[in-house]
Amino acid sequence: MSEIHVVGLDLAKQIFQVHAISSEGAVVVRRQLRRSQVLTFFSKLSSCLVGMEACGGAHFWAREIAKLGHQVRLMPPNYVKPYVKRGKTDAGDAEAICEAVSRPTMRFVPVKTAEQQAAAMVLKTRDLLVRQRNQAINALRAHLSELGIVSGTGVSRVAGLIGIVRDPEDARLPVIARQVLVDLSDHIEALTERLHRLDREIVARSREDADLRRLTAVPGIGPISAASLKALVPDPSGFVSGRHFAAWLGLTPRAHSSGGKERLGRISKMGNPTLRTLLILGATTVLRHARNGGKASPWLQALLSRRPPKVAAVALANKTARIVWALLTKGSHYRNPGLAASSAMGA
């Protein structure tokens, strides 16, 4: 049997598919492996290139296979899909992975450490708790509105509704409804307490970490946004520039150009939606502060004078993303352009 040069591994829960080729491109191995057989299979191979799609469990397998002396590369599934010849089968996917990983222009995903995955789990858990609390609050509002009890929007107004639910003297609620709504209120308060605990832990961690302290100095970036950026972007140096980083986040126009005519549409919304949402929300807060008389840089003032607020928020989020890339890759500190201009004028 020829020596294996490249291996494409299609991941699954129990049954994995392997497609291996030699340096000449001949197929050497095409078979299935059970989960317990994967590491044994790779331990018997000499050092080779192993390609996998960046999906659930991929980072774990990449770390374990790399310990055996192999070079492991993870690829976005969307970049592998064009190499699938016909139909979708595990064998076809493994063959496509094997072909894609050897392409010189292929882009790869950095392998995360267990600590980086743990930091991302904290943020994903927080996001889940926020969604569950919003669902419970919306249910409480809907049930009470059926009985003619309505309050203003916002999480802060929920306390008034919970007070009505727990008031036994309020005759607007039937006894049966009050019993279930009390349980729903307890659930909302429990979720709120868990969120407060997670937020305190994230803020405390941001004060201890040098990278997070630099990021939180940027207007529009708080502890949650800073922790999300560091956890979900493990290797910012993998981007050539801040412009590439902003494009990866989906904060640049979608291009549809042909025949020498350049057409730019709305932002692409590609990349991680959580990071893009946090940056745009932070930019919206900065713009609101500027419109209410707060200090703003000349660039931001000129932007607000010629563009609608939402367009300006996306443009500011794009600029913030480029600043974040520079801080993480160069280890520098943020300098407020407004303060720098004031100092120059004073000098």
Query: In this predicted structure, what is the pLDDT of residue 338?
Result: 57
Structure tokens at 316: 């500011």
16: how many CB neighbours lie within 10 A of its CB?
A: 21
Instruction: Burial-class residue 30 by CB neighbours within 10 Å (0-12, 13-18, 19+).
Output: middle
Q: What DSSP string runs through 320-339? A: HHHHHHHHHHH------HHH
Q: How far apart are CA 9 and CA 159, in angstroms?
A: 52
Query: In this predicted structure, what is the pLDDT of residue 345?
Result: 37
Name the architecture of domain 6-101: 2-Layer Sandwich (3.30)
* Largest Cα–Cα separation, the chain: 84
Tens digits of pLDDT across the chain (347 residues)? 579 999 999 999 999 999 999 999 999 999 999 999 999 999 999 999 999 999 989 999 999 999 999 999 999 999 999 999 988 899 999 999 999 999 999 999 999 999 999 999 999 999 999 999 999 999 999 999 999 999 888 888 999 999 999 999 988 999 999 999 999 999 999 999 999 999 999 999 888 999 999 999 999 999 999 999 998 887 888 899 999 999 999 999 888 778 878 787 888 888 889 999 999 999 999 999 888 888 888 888 898 889 999 999 999 999 999 999 999 998 888 887 655 444 333 43
Query: In this predicted structure, what is the pLDDT of residue 258?
Result: 80
Cβ neighbours for 173, distance < 8 A, ≥ 6 positions apart: 147, 149, 164, 165, 181
Q: How far apart are CA 218 and CA 6, in angstroms?
A: 44
Does residue 59 sit in helix, strand or coil?
A: helix
292 DSSP β-pair partners: none
94 DSSP β-pair partners: none
Q: How far apart are CA 21 and CA 19, in angstroms?
A: 7
DSSP 4: P
Q: How many whole angstroms from its chain centre is CA 252?
A: 17
Instruction: Burial-class residue 221 by CB neighbours within 10 Å (0-12, 13-18, 19+).
Output: buried
The label of the residue with tokens 């980072």 reads 59
Q: How far apart are CA 123 and CA 272, in angstroms?
A: 13
The phi, psi pair for 267, rounded to 5°, reads: -60, 150
The answer to whether 61 and 11 are in contact (CB under 8 A) is yes
Query: In this predicted structure, what is the pLDDT of residue 291?
Result: 86
DSSP 156: G
Inter-axis angle of helices 223-232 and 309-330, nearest 10: 60
Domain locations in the chain? Answer: 6-101, 114-208, 211-257+265-339
Query: In this predicted structure, what is the pLDDT of residue 253?
Result: 87
What percent of the chain stands above pLDDT 70? 97
Q: How far apart are CA 71 and CA 117, in angstroms?
A: 21
Tell me: the pLDDT tens digits for 41-63? 999 999 999 999 999 899 999 99
Judging by DSSP bridges, how do beta strands 49-53 and 6-10 pair with one another? Answer: parallel
Query: In this predicted structure, what is the pLDDT of residue 296?
Result: 82
Which contiguous run of DSSP H or E holds residue 71?
strand 71-75
Residue type present at position 126: R
